[in-house]
Amino acid sequence: MYRLSVDVWSPASPEQIWDVLLDWRGQHRWIPFTSVEVVEGTGYDVGDRVLAVSRPGPGRRQRGLVDRMRLTRVIPGHLLEVEHLGPQFRGRGEFKLVVAEGPSCTGTTIRCTEDVTGPLLVVRAAALAGPVVRPLLARSLRTLSEVALRSSTPGAAGRAS
């Protein structure tokens, strides 16, 4: 297994971040070159399935790096855990939103953790790519924060869970 974990601080509230995080069709706003759609369920509940396809270029992505995911744990405003089902890679992904505490602290820490499992070659490739992927993931999380700050209706998404 290979683990990649990135933390980014955001001045946005967990609710604002959560709303953007679970806007599956809008994830292209903060994950470059990626289209995401809900393929089973609402996209808010354990067992729901989503499909992400990443590739360079404009427009809807139908071919590229395919990531099929199943939501395995959902705590609205705090935790989203998915199981990556393949075909290119498998493992567990987690977004954790931690509120900053203290009299002078505000905002949220966004923690993204990816555990890549599977054949040794895949795990080694993930480990080799880690130094390149880590800053790209951090940039995506900072963009997630920026999009969340611009959102006008905090607390609207993910209430069905």
Is 75 within a domain? yes
Of the candidates 34, 24, 90, 86, which has an alpha carbon nearest to the alpha carbon of residue 64? Answer: 34
Is 65's pLDDT higher than 90? Answer: no
83 found inside a domain:
yes
Per-residue pLDDT band for 103 (boundaries 50, 70, 90) equals low
Does residue 159 lie in a domain region? Answer: no
- pLDDT for the residue 157: 52
Residue 100: per-residue pLDDT: 81
Q: What is the DSSP string of 72-138?
A: EEEETTTEEEEEEEEES-EEEEEEEEEE--STT--SEEEEEEEEEESSHHHHHHHHHHHHHHHHHHH
Q: Tell me, what's the pLDDT at 125?
A: 94
Q: What is the pLDDT of residues 136-147, one digit of tens each?
A: 999 999 999 999
Give the total number of structural domains in the chain. 1
The pTM assigned to this predicted structure is 0.88
Range of the domain at 137: 2-150
What's 16's domain CATH number? 3.30.530.20
CA-wise closest residue to 140 among 104, 95, 75, 92:
95
Residue 145 Ramachandran class (φ > 0 left, ψ -120 to 50 alpha, else beta): alpha
Asked if pLDDT for residue 123 goes beyond 60, the answer is yes
157 within domain boundaries:
no
Mean pLDDT of 10-15: 95
Q: Is residue 7 part of a domain?
A: yes
Indicate whether 153 pLDDT > 80. no
In a domain, 160, yes or no: no
The answer to whether residue 79 is domain-embedded is yes
Would 115 be classed as within a structural domain? yes
Calculate the CA 96 to chain-centre distance.
10
- 100 or 19: whose pLDDT is higher? 19
